[in-house]
């Protein structure tokens, strides 16, 4: 089934160490004619630098922006929303890395702690129940904080090349669902119980 992805500019926000040529983000970059965030340092990420690079990509867009993030890129989007609000139309957040875990590499420390706020734009989280970089409980907590629907993949590792996710055609259905969410008239969020 063909998906209609028209009407948006797509930005690829990779995680730590970037996404290689066989990674699904690289394939999607070609499929969607997307822009990849031009981070200066993929190995020693600095939050302010990554936010500035994402903001530059957003500013260069000519249509509403959907960010497609993986791993540390998901944390980047959460911080971006906290700092800049709703400059983007939506985000697909795949295999969010738990930057607050005790075993997180030192390189990820600039991204901890995550902002504890709902995202001000539609988003969808795709997580794996066997992700070595985020326990299921932590992935579920991030989706809950972001007030975003969570779609689980079984035994999918970190949803990257190592776990067999290259073209990842099934993932495009999640992107299509996000696009449909964005195109629908916004519904007011239910008020939290007092």
Residue 149: what pLDDT?
A: 97
Q: Cβ(93)–Cβ(147) under 8 Å?
A: no
Q: How far apart are CA 119 and CA 189, in angstroms?
A: 12
Chain-centroid distance, C-alpha 43: 19
Q: How far apart are CA 71 and CA 158, in angstroms?
A: 8
pLDDT along the chain (194 residues), means of 10: 91 97 97 96 97 98 98 98 96 98 95 96 98 97 97 96 91 96 70 44
Residue 167: what pLDDT?
A: 87
Q: Return the half-sphere exposure (C-beta side, CA atoms, 13 A cut-off) of residue 41.
A: 9
Distances (CA, A) of 50 to 105, 111, 147, 173, 192: 17, 10, 23, 28, 33
Residue 19: what pLDDT?
A: 96
Pick among 3.10.20.740, 3.40.50.720, 3.40.1260.10, 3.40.50.1820: CATH of 9-183: 3.40.50.1820
Residue 187: what pLDDT?
A: 58
Q: Where are the domains of the chain?
A: 9-183
Residue 2: what pLDDT?
A: 83
């Amino acid at each position: 089934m063909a998906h209609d992805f028209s009407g948006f500019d797509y930005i690829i926000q990779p995680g730590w160490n970037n996404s290689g040529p066989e990674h699904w983000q690289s394939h999607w970059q070609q499929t969607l004619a997307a822009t990849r965030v031009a981070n200066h340092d993929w190995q020693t990420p600095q939050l302010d630098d990554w936010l500035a690079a994402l903001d530059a990509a957003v500013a260069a867009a000519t249509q509403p922006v959907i960010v497609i993030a993986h791993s540390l890129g998901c944390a980047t989007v959460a911080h971006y929303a906290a700092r800049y609000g709703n400059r983007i139309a939506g985000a697909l957040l795949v295999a969010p890395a738990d930057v607050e875990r005790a075993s997180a590499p030192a390189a990820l420390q600039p991204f901890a702690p995550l902002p504890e706020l709902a995202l001000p734009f539609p988003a969808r989280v795709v997580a794996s129940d066997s992700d070595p970089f985020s326990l299921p409980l932590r992935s579920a907590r991030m989706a809950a904080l972001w007030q975003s629907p969570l779609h689980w993949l079984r035994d999918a590792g970190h949803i990257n090349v190592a776990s067999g996710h290259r073209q990842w055609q099934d993932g495009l259905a999640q992107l299509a669902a996000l696009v449909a969410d964005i195109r629908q008239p916004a519904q007011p969020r239910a008020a939290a119980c007092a």
